[in-house]
Structure 1
Amino acid sequence: MKQFLFAAATALALVAAPTLALSETVTPIAELKRGTMVMMTGDVARITDEDEFILADATGRVPVYVGPNFVPAAEGETVTVWGWVDDDLFSNEVYARRIQRADGTVIELRQGY
């Protein structure tokens, strides 16, 4: 039984692993699809809370959640965000895993959600 569970867990990890990889292609905000990992580049349009901001590009805007961390960028700053598009009922929201600031600094975000 233990061997079966180990084999099943290993197979699941191998199948699920590609979906957890960070994207290497920029996705415009207007093309975000729920339940996917994305990479987006845009400007911090507004900081809405200590752990959330609005990212804007030429195609739209999306809330980006960084909790339980503080927003690591300033309003008006251009950033690249890697994260997961939540499947919220009413609109998209991105749960950030990594942010790269305009100066090249990369921030890996702790996951608390």
Structure 2
Amino acid sequence: MLPTLARPWAIVAALTVTAGAVQAETVTPIGALQPGTVVTVQGTVERVTDEDEFRLADDSGRIEVYVGPNIVPARAGDRVTVRGIVDDDGPPEIYAREMVLPDGSVVRFPRSDE
């Protein structure tokens, strides 16, 4: 077991490694999304279109992001990272599983169908 003074440093080191792994994740441009794929996208919230949906844009395009049955935790103008699944039926849309907000906090979206 680590001495009491070493414990906080061990936690910081573990979090730093985790944060580095997230940053190394491959980000897919919105314009290159393929239906039925699990993706990570980054962009700016253009508009919150409903309490559980918003439009995300990057330099390559824009897409609707569904977070339901949860409420969108971001505002227009926020730069966010979204991880989710690209819908393979109907208009292009991402079913978000989690979102990294501008302050670095991660919001997970539990689904009622799970």
TM-score by length of 2: 0.76
Partner of 1:80: 81
Partner of 1:6: none
CA distance in 2: counterparts of 1:59 and 1:88, whole angstroms? 21
2:36 pairs with 1:35: yes
CA distance in 1: counterparts of 2:38 and 2:89, whole angstroms? 15
CA distance in 2: counterparts of 1:112 and 1:98, whole angstroms? 15
Alignment of 1:49-64 (within 5 A): 49-64=50-65
> Structure 1 segments of 4 or more deviating over 3 A?
none
CA distance in 2: counterparts of 1:98 and 1:83, whole angstroms? 7
Q: Count residues with an aligned counterpart.
A: 91
Alignment of 1:60-71 (within 5 A): 60-71=61-72
Unaligned stretches of 5+ in structure 1?
A: 1-23
Partner of 1:104: 104
Task: Report the alpha carbon displacement of residue 58 of structure 1 after superposing the two structures with TM.
Answer: 0.4
Amino acid at match of 2:54: F
TM-score by length of 1: 0.76
Task: Report the alpha carbon displacement of residue 92 of structure 1 after superposing the two structures with TM.
Answer: 1.1
Partner of 1:95: 95
Amino acid at match of 2:92: N
Amino acid at match of 2:99: I
What SS is found at the alignment partner of 1:82?
strand
Amino acid at match of 2:32: E
Percent identity between the aligned chains?
Answer: 55
Task: Report the alpha carbon displacement of residue 88 of structure 1 after superposing the two structures with TM.
Answer: 2.2
